[in-house]
Structure 1
């Protein structure tokens, strides 16, 4: 596997922004006034959202909005991770090696450390103070006019198991319900929901912090899931491994929990036992917000409630958000998925799987393209075995496309070509029915197929678009002379060549 270069030094979001701020194709700052209620997402839909967002959309630069209606002191950043090349740059890798970078971090984790002082606590707003209202304090955006509420979409929850004290971090959709009240949607099996259920069974609230505006290494590292990072594994160790320096934590001001010391914004509070609210209790839209598959899912009728006790921030804080179905979700969910699969298949069949791509059409969760290198007739079966390993490694994965080593997993046209010329539907499609999937895929519902017993159960499919080893000569692609075109076309950009070797060098 390719070995990434050392990661650039970055302790927080501001350091990460400095790595791309010089590049207008990667970062755009605007002082034109914007309303966070729908307008901000509507703007970025055209600028750089990409992903499964309804067309027209595109991939483009991250945007910093410095004039946000009703919030003179706050800035809103959207789309920081909405481009794979941008993510790779901030993590010291290339688009093709960034998942391998995460595998290295998994193999060399570095636990967080506790510090006494934190930039995240430069300003403290107590919920007990007269006039406290999180709605006026922070510009939580809505993506669409039918959103159930304003949402914090990039809030990293940090909480601890009330029985063992082991901490965990996860990202959830967080709706603003009142001056000091948030609702939190937990997908089935998420670790902090396990902590919440334990505390609730004992009749106690669960102290939590919500950390926003973070080093991308922290956010991406937090998106690993079991079995790669099982219950009891602190994903902040992955960020430490990525940066080669531990994530700094600090004691929260009002609850017995810790916060990320160099966050832009921290919300402190408690998940209340036996208290539930409808996600759209104030709007009654029936919809939550647009999620990664590209649809606005139904508002949840009964969600746990977090009572806010304080908000702490840096001076002139940056609220980081995303467009729900955009390319940013693919980076957040997909790159850790790729790393998890790479690690698992390398352990079970070393050297056989050379590259994987969690495709944006599946929001980084539902669709994986897997490149294999066949060396003999037995490898026809090993390719499908590798797909089964991937499906077992990442529960929410739905479809796997297998391709040969001459196919670029990051080029959809190339993948579709392989499916068109190296696959027969009658022999090369393998279906595994009745397997756990993801509740946000609207096709995984009994209403779609009565054979589905409950939401989030699906048929998983392997599309084997690899040529049979015995026919390898017939599937050999036309071979062109290997020439570096840059001396003839100096004004054109060839990122794949720039990643591989300096101009003029042998490739």
Structure 2
């Protein structure tokens, strides 16, 4: 995995404050930014291009890990560039966040343990231009070049829209990313996976017969996006993940009062959609396309269109001058970076409390989209630790309930090298005694195998069988039968070209 100099990571921590500074920062590093002025159609073509250039993740092959792309010439839009794949590489994400790739989970865990509250400012870049929805010429579909990722999509989607809202009863605040589809000139549908905190706020407001004021913030500092992907129990209801982003950057996230709704927006966003989630109003997600499909999701499949989704009634759109729309492909490596780093931090946090010093590191593997699979590096310190590696996996399932599969390996295995992990699976694992199955447990609703006709243990969709693959060995055997071949430590650098 590509690494940079310590001074590069330090510069990122000091210089990156928003999307624009992140792109400028990447422009100085070879192979991290590809900019094009060739016209591209946001309907299918833009994502089709990036699928080959750098999507990776669970995207259908052929695909690869590559640079982020900045499309400057979007068909049907003037001076409205689109950035895609900003975080579609762990090495690039690490560079932007200012920490080495293998330390991202630890760094995010430390930030979660020392939150810094956002602050309110009077003026903000995100409000340089204001478009009001009561203007007869207003049409959000003509303002924001949101891509349609595949020809089957329900419509143009905001895939990186960070929703900010407040609890209508007690004023608690929260941010989360949700898929949002443009349905008409001033209506956007929004999908909530079960248990999302802003959906709790929405339901409270609906029970009161009131709309829920929200802002949808697009084009942000990478640290804000990644921090926003924490979930319970690390961030319980009422905990605003912007506090983690503040700690990660060692400076508070700046908010500004929205122009047309009673809530806040992220001051350094490129685009902010201001609106209200209306009570007792639902739409069919694919009412305009009638394909039965929604958009590509992190497991690598296109999700089904939802027959009844809440609706954001748009009041205004505020932007920077010549705003950059930031988007991602749902099944790309970008989702792994967004969801996976917080998955790692959550597991590290909970296991360190339960058994200090035993779980050295965690990788939320790309094949699970950053959610369904984790590889845990466990260190046995004494014979009494035998069996605790499995207990650590159980703690991980509790720390991040959406996990489906966990592979536990020894401390001599590189968890970020899939070949090394599979080597451990092939040489240190016996399926009849080292595979632990836990049927009938709730995990992520978007796993398409979660249905009764896949297994008799699944009573309803959304339930799954979780599995632990124990690829560790008894401590007394590690130094005898399971000692890896040892090579001479040498100064290999002197054999390489000096430039």
Please, what TM-score do these two structures have when normalized by structure 2? 0.97
Question: 3-state DSSP class of the match of 1:378?
Answer: helix
Q: 2-side partners of 1:111 and 1:354: how far apart?
A: 29
State the match for 2:65 in structure 1.
59
| 1:60-79 correspondence to structure 2 within 5 Å | 60-79=66-85
Residues 423/243 of structure 1: CA separation in 2 closer, same or farther (3 Å cut): same
State the match for 2:35 in structure 1.
29
Q: 2:239 aligns with which of 215, 220, 233?
A: 233
Superposed CA offset, 1:184-236 (max 9, x none): 00000000000000000010000000000000010000000000000010100
Question: 3-state DSSP class of the match of 1:486?
Answer: helix
Please, what TM-score do these two structures have when normalized by structure 1? 0.95
State the match for 1:490 in structure 2.
497
Q: 2-side partners of 1:51 and 1:312: how far apart?
A: 32
Q: CA deviation at 1:379?
A: 1.7
State the match for 2:363 in structure 1.
357
Q: CA deviation at 1:485?
A: 2.1
Q: 1-side partners of 2:457 and 2:351: how far apart?
A: 32
Superposed CA offset, 1:231-287 (max 9, x none): 010100001001010000000000001000010000000000000011101111011
Q: CA deviation at 1:359?
A: 0.1
Q: CA deviation at 1:10?
A: 2.2
| 1:409-428 correspondence to structure 2 within 5 Å | 409-428=415-434
State the match for 1:243 in structure 2.
249
Q: 1:329 aligns with which of 332, 335, 340?
A: 335
- The CA RMSD over aligned residues, in Å, is 1.1
Q: 1:481 aligns with which of 469, 479, 488?
A: 488
Contact 1:24 1:61 in 2 (8 A): no
**Any stretches of 5+ residues in structure 1 without a counterpart?**
493-507
Superposed CA offset, 1:317-337 (max 9, x none): 010000110000000000010
Determine whether 1:86 maps to 2:92.
Answer: yes
Superposed CA offset, 1:1-56 (max 9, x none): xxx97633322111222221112311111111100001000000000000000000
Superposed CA offset, 1:101-130 (max 9, x none): 101111211000000000000000000012
State the match for 2:408 in structure 1.
402
| 1:169-188 correspondence to structure 2 within 5 Å | 169-188=175-194
Q: 2-side partners of 1:187 and 1:177: how far apart?
A: 19
Superposed CA offset, 1:467-499 (max 9, x none): 12121121000001122422211379xxxxxxx
| 1:191-270 correspondence to structure 2 within 5 Å | 191-270=197-276
Question: 3-state DSSP class of the match of 1:249?
Answer: strand
Superposed CA offset, 1:290-309 (max 9, x none): 10000012110000001000
Q: 1-side partners of 2:105 and 2:227: how far apart?
A: 11
- Misfit runs of 4+, over 3 Å: none
Q: 1-side partners of 2:40 and 2:467: how far apart?
A: 43
Total equivalences in the alignment: 489
Question: 3-state DSSP class of the match of 1:447?
Answer: helix
State the match for 1:272 in structure 2.
278
Q: CA deviation at 1:454?
A: 1.6
Q: Tell me which protein shows more helix as a share of its residues.
A: 2
Q: 1-side partners of 2:111 and 2:194: how far apart?
A: 27
Q: CA deviation at 1:448?
A: 2.0
State the match for 2:381 in structure 1.
375
Contact 1:8 1:90 in 2 (8 A): no
Q: 2-side partners of 1:435 and 1:9: how far apart?
A: 44
State the match for 1:99 in structure 2.
105
